[in-house]
Amino acid sequence: GIQVEQSPPDLILQEGANSTLRCNFSDSVNNLQWFHQNPWGQLINLFYIPSGTKQNGRLSATTVATERYSLLYISSSQTTDSGVYFCAGYSGGGADGLTFGKGTHLIIQP
């Protein structure tokens, strides 16, 4: 199966700062998703983005499929953005489950 690496593992920022989270894949993917896991453990869908760029409010994501990486941008951070951000991919053919990275633990300080 594919390998998923996320960086940085931890990030501490002040409210209002911008950040970029990165996800590298060992192989091409048919499905790539970004999630936010809040302190209560809920996995919130942020983006479904196997290729291209999408934006949703202060968040945007870009996937460069040919180079096997994806980036998540968070602008004007708020304390409610704190939590763990996961990317996950599925390469197709085989198990069909998403393979998750280990996540980026983001703390936004007031």
Q: Applying CB under 8 A, which part among 18-26, 56-64, 66-74, 86-94 lies near other proteins?
A: 86-94
Count, residues in the chain: 110
Does the footprint of other proteins cover residue 100 (CB under 8 A)? Answer: yes
Does the footprint of other proteins cover residue 96 (CB under 8 A)? Answer: yes
Beta partners for residue 4, in sequence order: 25
Does the footprint of other proteins cover residue 90 (CB under 8 A)? Answer: yes
Does the footprint of other proteins cover residue 33 (CB under 8 A)? Answer: yes
Does the footprint of other proteins cover residue 86 (CB under 8 A)? Answer: yes
Token pair recorded at residue 66: 């040919």
The answer to whether 108 touches 10, Cβ cutoff 8 Å, is no
Judged by CB under 8 A, which of 14, 39, 67, 97 binds other proteins?
A: 97
Euclidean distance between CA atoms 106 and 10, whole angstroms: 6
Judged by CB under 8 A, which of 48, 55, 58, 79 binds other proteins?
A: 48
Judged by CB under 8 A, which of 8, 27, 92, 107 binds other proteins?
A: 92
Q: Which DSSP string corresponds to 36-93?
A: EE-TT--EEEEEE-SSEEEEETTEEEEEEGGGTEEEEEE-S--GGG-EEEEEEEE-SS
What is the contact surface with other proteins in residues (CB under 8 A)? 4, 30-31, 33, 35, 40-43, 45, 48, 50, 86, 88, 90, 92, 94-103
